[in-house]
Chain A
Amino acid sequence: MSLEQFKNRNVGTQNYTMLDLGERPKTGWDRFKQVARRSVKLELFTGLKVTFREMIKALFMGEMHTIKYPFEKLPISPRYRAIHEMKRLLESGHYRCIGCGLCEKICIADCIRMDTRYDENQRKEVSEYTINFGRCIFCGYCAEVCPELAIVHGGRYENASEQRASFALFEDMLTPLDQLNQQQEFPGFGAVSPDADKKIKKTPLAY
């Protein structure tokens, strides 16, 4: 749709589809006829029928829609953006974060901070990493900008706690080492697109 169509604010000239509602009664007699017709046709009972049918379906045909929430949970979309997770490398178990600070830079709520240092292996070590969830707006930019797929949005949307800091430290977000085998690659926000290979220009290699 082009922008011009949005800018047309004259209601009625846009491209609406009109429903065929028949003619509205004009005279009193017409109205009487309409009432009489509808009463005789027992249109009201159609409504009753619908609700009754739904009740039968719900009660006897297993189509009850309620999820008993804290006890049952719906699976959420992989693209859902809840509390962040910090991923580890499957091979070594070392965290993936390289401390580049891009998430810190892009964060529009300015809620990410990290402490880094030069470690014994001549690498950049992330000594602490926090997200202030009181400020985080879960926009997902951090996950999108992360070059290592290290920070992703997880599915933990229940973030009520006595302290906001309860799940905001590096350790809290990192995949626990004993659950490393269950760590799943993040397919959602910021993940490599399926056609990434096509978009890359090949660089010559001398090996």
Chain B
Amino acid sequence: MSKKEITITIDGVECRTWEGEYLLNAARANGIFIPAICYLTRCSPTLACRICLVEADGKRVYSCNAKAKEGMNVVTQSEEILEERRAIMEVYDVNHPLQCGVCDQHGECELQNYTLELGVDSQHFAVPDTMREVKEWSTVLHYDAGLCIVCERCVTVCKDMIGDSALKTGPRGGPAVDKAYKETAPKDAYAMWNKLQKSIIVPSNGTEHTNCSDCGECTAVCPVGALTERDFVYKANPWELKEIPATCAHCSSGCHLYYETRFTSIDNHDEMIFRVKNEWNFQSLCGAGRFGYDYENRDVTKDEKAFAKAVEALKKAKTVRFSSMITNEEALMLQRLKEERGVRLVNPEVRPFQRFLAAYAKAAGRSLYGSDYKAIMQESDFVVSVGAALRNDNPNARYAFNNVQKMNKGAGLYFHPVGDTLVPTFGKSVECIAHKPGQEETALYLVLDLFADRENLPEYIKTYLDGFHETRKRTIKERVMKEVVEKVLDKESGEENEVKKKVPEMVEKEVEYDHNLLVEALGGDPVAFADSFEKMMKKKSSFALIVGEDLYGHPRWENLAKLVALAEKHCGMKLAMIPPKSNALGVALICDLDDSAEGYTVGYNQPGDFRLSALGEGDLDMPAMNQQEGTMSTMNKRVVPTNAALEYGGYELNDLMNALGLGKRLSVDWTAELPVDKGFQAVEFDDLSDGFLNDGTEVRGYALTAFKSRPSAAKVAAASEEAVLEGEIAYRCNPQRQFNDFTDKAHQIFEAFALYASPEKAEALGERVEVVFEKGSLLLDVVADERMQGEIVEIPDFKADRDVYGLFGESRYANVTIKKV
């Protein structure tokens, strides 16, 4: 998908844009305003509102749907266009409740804004109103159909971005638009009204409740107050809230978001986060980001005794064990602690990733993976995912995978042992291969086999791969046209004429074909796969590879890293990894981690002999991530700033460092000292920019620098079956909105710490089970996850004190015995 830069004229202004870019986006990128209600930047045009009407080269087109061509002349405003737009806004205003003050959107409502912007000061249309009930779609979604203007943004975002496709338009009932308006109303307004009057939004599964990941992105994109977070309904007014730009700390996506704070109530003047907002045109949040905001460490004061003890503990500590939900600055402080005092730094979440990344860097000659999810989303049309539970591991990886299918007419290959019913619904050309755990090497070899440029592959690999191809014969049924001679009696003449006719006939035929043993090894049907793969490959030019956490802790991680590097090099693939937890990339780059703990351990949000904790139950309180400022490293390889949304009255890590004589005045004074040799830049925190530009360019912080080196010449080993697991298998994987103890603390996230299994498996297991590992066991409730398939069960790790990492070891898969309790 190569882009060609062109020049078009919009309202007399010369604008640079790309060939094939939508006019609306081109105008926005150049700072020209065209009203649009239904369009979402990264999604397909809905064409529901028709308000983005413009004239391009004298022809009326919808700017969200019309593509730019060289030399195009666009007029965004004319008397007729304004008339049409005003009529459309009047139609939107028909029967819309006027109690704006009560609505949760007032002040930031697009209906209000456009009604004023387009100068609607009278109403010419009317239709009897229909009773539309308020619905609670899920534990977090609140739909007030009476306010809905059926712009279908929620439907679009759910389908094109999130991938749940949980919403659709449904029948509204009630009277139709009076036919007489056809004469009086402008054409577009009438057509739009006809459609609008017939529909409302309903869950797509035909029930009263949505079956989705509860990300709440639909509430963010809703231009009116129809879709809101249940918790926020009528609680505060948007204009009272103070927006604090920050970075979501729950997973490695590091999404940009705004914490919106206000005083708690009349009785309590402390600031409180009321909701989370995002720049939904450029960044989609997941349920954890949107609803997991109230995890702050509340009512903390400076406890000097505890502080003194903490300093003592740090002085005698042999090990500091920490979670990766920390800022880069804190990671640097801990690293400094290691350098100065020789403590061991232990982080079981990140350690495998760090090793894997290092091995990859060695093999690829580049310190960081080559691409990121934004680029994949924008440019790729074929995504391959290996070793990642897409639905659970990282929402943005999943959104990218889905978005490629929807927007780029893409295809996808999803290699994962745990069957998933959602991923195949992302697009028609998505193929899921549920291989056995431990077969990731084979999966990567298949990727090489399918995509690599054979000519340039090293000879030994070529030979190795050729070994998996057999020419076999199979019988296929073929339709052949056969000529048949028929005798027909001519009635007039009474003669019998011979007429030749062609009749189809099925013929069995033996053909030779290429039997791919790799596919077979992975549990697929080589014939069917070859067929569908051929279809998938049509018109594809840009490939991407997403690799996930399964590879990092894999017993043969070193070989996998080499394979990944090889695939990136020889398949021309955009490679992106999923760092396992919040700031895993930052920790991996900054800290020099040790493999195991030793001696007296100080745990930071982790178990230990002395516990520093932001959860409010440790020996010394620490600020939670929404009470800290600092930077995080996201999986898009950017260092982004985050700000403190709430006050924190206690001590922070920098205070402890000061007590040890290693500190600085402020935590953010460490920002400029982040290691430049690891790709960071020596920039002060206050000099970091934040946000997005009009054309979607991310200007948050800075991009990490990837350093080049000479790729190592070490050979890749052949796929081994030694890591393959059989029997009862547990997979370390969190439910969709849970990432850590902090999401668990949030009051709007309900997913339990339980054993998740496919419905059939869950039924077989009963209500409560004991899962016995080699090193211990867990007592868990069984929860059926409708979107899981197969026998493998998932065990979450978001509660640090259950030490799930200890039970599993480094690998995400473990053989277990499950006993009913």
A-to-B contact residues, CB < 8 Å = 98-102, 104-105, 113-119, 122-125, 128, 130, 147, 201, 203-207
Contacts and interface: CB of A to CB of B under 8 A. Distances in A.
A201 to B, nearest CB: 5
B266 A117 contact: no
Contact of B125 (A105, A116, A124, A204): A204
Given A116-B234, A204-B123, A99 B102 contact: yes
Contacts of B265: 115, 128
Contacts of A207: 128
| Most chain A CB atoms below 10 A, which of B99, B237, B263, B267 | B237
A105 B234 CA distance: 16
29 contacts: A98-B101, A99-B101, A99-B234, A100-B99, A100-B102, A100-B237, A101-B237, A101-B239, A104-B240, A105-B237, A105-B240, A113-B266, A114-B266, A115-B265, A117-B235, A118-B233, A118-B234, A119-B234, A122-B134, A123-B102, A124-B102, A124-B234, A125-B234, A128-B265, A128-B266, A201-B121, A203-B126, A204-B124, A206-B129
Nearest to B122: A201
Contacts of A102: 101
Chain B interface, >50% SS class: loop
A98 B127 CA distance: 27
B98 to A, nearest CB: 9
A90 B235 CA distance: 27
Chain B CB within 10 Å, residue with most, of A101, A102, A114, A128? A101
Interface string B226-244: 0000000111110110000
A97 to B, nearest CB: 10
Contacts of B123: 201, 203-204
Interface in B228-262: 233-237, 239-240
A105 B122 CA distance: 27
A51 B237 CA distance: 63
A204 B127 CA distance: 9
A116 B235 contact: yes
A138 B749 CA distance: 45
Nearest to B175: A206
Given A201-B121, A207-B128, A130 B101 contact: no
Contacts of A118: 233-235
Contacts of A201: 121-123
B99 A98 contact: yes
Interface in B111-143: 121-129, 134
A188 B16 CA distance: 58
A20 B239 CA distance: 62
B678 interface: no
B13 interface: no
Given A98-B99, A99-B102, A105-B239, A204 B126 contact: yes
Residue among B102, B106, B128 with the highest chain A CB neighbour number at 10 A:
B102
B485 interface: no
B821 interface: no
B488 interface: no
Nearest to A98: B102
Interface string B399-422: 000000000000000000000000
Interface string B265-281: 11100000000000000
A101 B101 contact: yes
Given A118-B234, A201-B122, A203-B126, A101 B266 contact: no
B375 interface: no
Contacts of A114: 266
Nearest to A124: B234
Nearest to A126: B234
B693 interface: no
B699 interface: no
Interface in B202-247: 233-237, 239-240
Contacts of A205: 126
Interface in B176-198: 178
A171 to B, nearest CB: 13
B100 interface: yes
Nearest to A122: B134
B126 A104 contact: no
By Cβ-Cβ distance, the 9 closest A-B pairs, closest first, are A100-B101, A206-B126, A204-B126, A124-B234, A118-B233, A118-B234, A101-B237, A203-B123, A206-B128
A105 B175 CA distance: 39
Contacts of B233: 118
Nearest to B268: A115
Contacts of B266: 113-115, 128, 130
B116 to A, nearest CB: 16
Contacts of B121: 201
A147 B101 contact: yes
Contacts of B106: 100
Contacts of A147: 99, 101
Nearest to A207: B128
A125 B235 CA distance: 9
B235 to A, nearest CB: 6
Contacts of B234: 99, 116-119, 124-125
Given A100-B106, A116-B236, A117-B235, 20 more contacts: A98-B102, A101-B101, A101-B240, A113-B263, A113-B266, A114-B266, A116-B234, A117-B234, A118-B233, A118-B234, A122-B134, A125-B234, A147-B99, A147-B101, A201-B121, A203-B122, A203-B123, A204-B124, A206-B175, A207-B128
A99 B126 CA distance: 29
A115 B235 CA distance: 7
Nearest to B107: A105
A203 B90 CA distance: 11
Contacts of B236: 116
A23 to B, nearest CB: 65
A163 B239 CA distance: 31
A12 to B, nearest CB: 50
B127 A206 contact: yes
A102 B124 CA distance: 29
A33 to B, nearest CB: 75
A100 B235 contact: no
Q: Which of B101, B123, B178 has the most CB of A within 10 A?
A: B101
Contacts of A206: 126-129, 175, 178
A104 B237 contact: yes
A116 B104 CA distance: 11
Contacts of B178: 206
Contacts of B175: 206
B689 to A, nearest CB: 31
A99 B99 CA distance: 10
A147 B178 CA distance: 32
Contacts of B267: 128
A124 B228 CA distance: 14
Nearest to A119: B234
B382 to A, nearest CB: 46
A6 B126 CA distance: 52
Contacts of A117: 234-235
A147 B99 CA distance: 9
Contacts of A99: 101-102, 234
Contacts of B263: 113
Nearest to A203: B123
A203 B95 CA distance: 11
A115 B264 CA distance: 9
Interface string B128-160: 110000100000000000000000000000000
Interface in B89-103: 99-102
A114 B263 CA distance: 11
B159 to A, nearest CB: 29
A158 B125 CA distance: 51
Nearest to B228: A118
B87 to A, nearest CB: 14
A16 B100 CA distance: 52
Contacts of A101: 101, 237, 239-240
Nearest to A101: B237
A118 B232 CA distance: 9
Nearest to A130: B266
Nearest to A129: B266
